[in-house]
């Protein structure tokens, strides 16, 4: 298992209160030895002006997943900060839930690289994102 911290979905979801993650109703829904998943509603909070999922909201979901996964790979008073995030928006979504699936590409002592794929309710790829973090 790559996680160095003990976590439950309940504890991860408690961290969302009072910040952007909570405002967008991002919910952690799955955690195993190598993967972290979360959902986000596609509604007025996450729409762009034309009624589609806002690319920035997808990036918030991706960065949330990668940052939390990165934190789970640290110890003691260490934390992670984002260095670079990119996203390719593949398919538009108008409503429902999207699910982000986060997996490690590289987990080192000083930096990490995370791959996050966001799919719609039919399992179709909507966005693929990569987040690089620094361990501080």
Query: Does 92 belong to an annotated binding site?
Result: yes
Q: 47 labelled as ligand-binding?
A: no
Q: What's the half-sphere exposure (Cβ side, CA atoms, 13 Å) at 136?
A: 7
Of all helices (H) and strands (E), which one includes residue 63?
helix 55-72
Is 26 annotated to bind a ligand? Reply is no
91 is in an annotated binding site: yes
Structure tokens, 42: 């596609």
Whose tokens are 């179709």? That residue is 124
Q: Is position 63 annotated as part of the catalytic site? A: yes
| Catalytic option among 10, 37, 63, 117 | 63
Q: What is the dihedral of CA 112, 78, 21, 125, to 10 degrees?
A: 10
Is 90 annotated for ligand binding? Answer: yes
Q: Which positions make up the binding site?
A: 82, 89-92
- Catalytic residue numbers read 63
Q: Which positions make up the binding site for substrate?
A: 82, 89-92
């Amino acid at each position: 298992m790559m996680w160095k911290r003990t976590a439950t979905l309940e504890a991860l979801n408690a961290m969302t209160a009072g910040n952007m993650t909570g405002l967008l109703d991002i919910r952690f829904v799955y955690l195993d030895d190598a993967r972290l998943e979360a959902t986000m509603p596609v509604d007025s909070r996450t729409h762009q002006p034309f009624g589609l999922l806002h690319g920035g909201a997808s990036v918030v979901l991706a960065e949330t997943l990668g940052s939390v996964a990165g934190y789970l790979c640290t110890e003691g008073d260490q934390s992670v900060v984002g260095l670079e995030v990119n996203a390719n928006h593949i398919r538009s979504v108008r409503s429902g839930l999207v699910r982000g699936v986060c997996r490690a590409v590289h987990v080192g002592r000083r930096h990490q690289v995370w791959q996050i794929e966001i799919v719609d309710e039919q399992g179709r790829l909507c966005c693929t994102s990569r987040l690089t973090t620094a361990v501080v």
